[in-house]
Amino acid sequence: MTAASTTHSLLTIDVKHWMGTDLLGSREQGRKLREFLMSHIQHQESIRLDFRHVDVMTSAFADECFGKLWDSTSHSVIKQTIHITGLTGNNKAVFRFVLVHRS
């Protein structure tokens, strides 16, 4: 699988491949992905993030990427633009925890 592929104008990112690791633990990594997502949001381009091959996502990463994105961007725009797939187990719990404690 490639890091990115486009299907029906929806860019799909294999997050492990794009980040170069299956361990998403740092705020720096989260900032990198958030900035990438912001550029797509600004251009009104939909994107699918595939987390199937990510073993660990920490709260620091999730907060820096998704939490700050949630705090700074219209929630309806985020929901229309960013599609998350492949989150399981602890990664899904971390993702939900970060967003539940906002708003």
Q: Looking at 3-67, list the stretches that DSSP marks H as alpha helix, in order from N- to C-terminal side.
A: 15-19, 27-42, 59-62
Average pLDDT along the chain: 92
For residue 34, which phi and psi values (nearest 5 degrees)?
Answer: -60, -45
Residue 49 has pLDDT above 80, yes or no: yes
Residue 2 has pLDDT above 90, yes or no: no
Are the C-beta atoms of residues 80 and 41 closer than 8 Å to each other? no
- Look up the pTM and report it: 0.88
pLDDT, tens only, 13-42: 999 999 999 999 999 999 999 999 999 999
- Per-domain boundaries in the chain: 7-100
Are the C-beta atoms of residues 4 and 36 closer than 8 Å to each other? no
Q: What is the pLDDT of residue 44?
A: 87
- More confident: 1 or 58: 58
